[in-house]
Amino acid sequence: MTKPQTVLELARHDAQELHKKISGNVARAEQATWADVKAVQADINALGARMKTLAEDQADAVKSGIKAALTKMDAAGKLVEDKTVAGATAAKDGVKHANDAMLESVHNATTSLSAAVAAARSKLAHAIEPKKPVA
Amino acid sequence: MNTYIAIVFSSDDKAHQALRKLWQMDDEGLLTVHGAAVVRRDDMGHIRVADRNSDLGMRTAIGVGVGALLGLLAGPVGVAAGVAGAAALSVGAATGVGALAGAAVGATADAVTETRRENAAYESFFTLKHGQSAVVAEVSEDWTHVLDDAMHPMGGTIYRRMNNATTNAAFGENYYNGYLYPYYSEPMYG
């Protein structure tokens, strides 16, 4: 439903869409594959790169939230298939673990970007707020 | 101002409309929604959390988080029972929210209602009567009247708690963050 308007809002929107995509993969756990994981990892890494740039312009509290999310995204984006495990169940467990880690990291990304958007909107709102005349 | 809110309605339909409206307001930049969900208390007194039916990965987590949030919004009496309810919610989530959780949070609401007659300080605490639904959310808002003006015509009653260290301490390890949908999602009851 979100209609992006600023660079921050656009990044937040993309994080929300990525969250939906991973949730969908988690929901269809039986059919989810490492190919799905790799596709999402590419999106996570791309989002992470944009967030690194955006983080630099944020206030300290917002910046620390984004950086914490980036750490998790970085870890989730590097998960690889363990080809030494035998059996379909073990393989599915690996995919599940990767999807769970990615979901958590992207959730953190979404909420940290949401905090950044809120801070930017608040700053703007107070900048245009009518000033009371000085007595 | 970062706030936890509960907006109580007399029906599911109204709560679902309100959820849509909330995200629409976010879209317009009137406030920022960090996460939201719809809960209802059925005629048996059980609290149910609406989620995306297909979203099995989130269902258990939502039970824990929203239970804790309901506990917080229920006030001092509700915090303990609400968090206890949250644990039961997580257990019951696999097959739908359990009766125990509903009883725990429902009892909280009843206790608060009862206490309210004796102590005006409880007036602002969240209560969810049988058959009522609520939007629960974390939002950032610069002026409270914006949300008030949008929800009152829809028949909603708004309850707020500041998001600060003191209120978040009530969540303990079950801090809800990560368990409300961080985007608009058509609510369903599994």
Q: d(Cα B34, Cα B36) in Å, to the nearest integer?
A: 7
Q: Check residue B183 and report its DSSP letter.
A: S
Select from A6, A10, A23, A62 the residue whose CB has the most chain B CBs within 10 Å, as the one to mutate to test that interface. A23
- B24 contact A CB<8A: yes
Q: d(Cα A109, Cα B46) in Å, to the nearest integer?
A: 33
User: Are A112 and A69 in contact, with CB atoms under 8 Å apart?
Assistant: yes
Helix (H) or strand (E) holding B33: strand B32-41
Side chain identity, residue B134: A
pLDDT of residue B179: 60
Lowest mean pLDDT of A21-25, A84-88, A115-119, B158-162, name the range. Answer: A84-88
Q: Provide, as residue numbers in chain A, all residues whose Cβ is less than 8 Å from the Cβ of B61.
A: none
pLDDT of residue B154: 97
The arrangement of strands across the sheet holding B157-162 comes to B47-50, B32-41, B133-140, B2-9, B157-162
ipTM of the complex, rounded to two decimals:
0.86
Q: Write out residues 14-33 of A within 8 Å (CB-CB) of B.
A: 16, 19-20, 23-24, 26-29
Please indicate whether, in this complex, the C-beta atoms of B58 and A23 are within 8 angstroms of each other: yes
Q: d(Cα B56, Cα A32) in Å, to the nearest integer?
A: 13
Q: Which residues of chain B have pLDDT under 70?
A: 51-68, 71-127, 170-179, 188-190
- B140 contact A CB<8A: yes
Q: Provide, as residue numbers in chain A, all residues whose Cβ is less than 8 Å from the Cβ of B177.
A: 111
B162: left (phi over 0), alpha (psi -120 to 50) or beta: beta
Q: Provide, as residue numbers in chain B, all residues whose Cβ is less than 8 Å from the Cβ of A108.
A: 178
Q: d(Cα B78, Cα B127) in Å, to the nearest integer?
A: 10
Q: d(Cα A44, Cα B185) in Å, to the nearest integer?
A: 21
Distance between alpha carbon A121 and the CA centroid of its chain, in Å?
20
Residue A55: what are its φ and ψ, rounded to 5°? -60, -35
Kindly tell me the burial class for residue B97, based on how many C-beta atoms sit within 10 Å of its own C-beta (0-12, 13-18, 19 or more): buried
Q: Provide, as residue numbers in chain A, all residues whose Cβ is less than 8 Å from the Cβ of B52.
A: 23, 27
* Secondary structure string (H, E, C) spanning chain A: CCCCCCHHHHHHHHHHHHHHHHHHHHHCCCCCCHHHHHHHHHHHHHHHHHHHHHHCCCCHHHHHHHHHHHHHHHHHHCCCCCCCCCCHHHHHHHHHHHHHHHHHHHHHHHHHHHHHHHHHHHHHHHHHCCCCCCC
Q: Render pLDDT for A28-57 as a digit per residue (tens, 0 to 9).
A: 877 888 999 999 999 999 999 999 999 998
Q: d(Cα B179, Cα A127) in Å, to the nearest integer?
A: 33
pLDDT of residue B118: 37
pLDDT over 70 at A4, yes or no: no
Q: d(Cα B109, Cα B126) in Å, to the nearest integer?
A: 7
pLDDT of residue A134: 65
pLDDT of residue A125: 85
B178 vs A71 pLDDT, higher one: A71
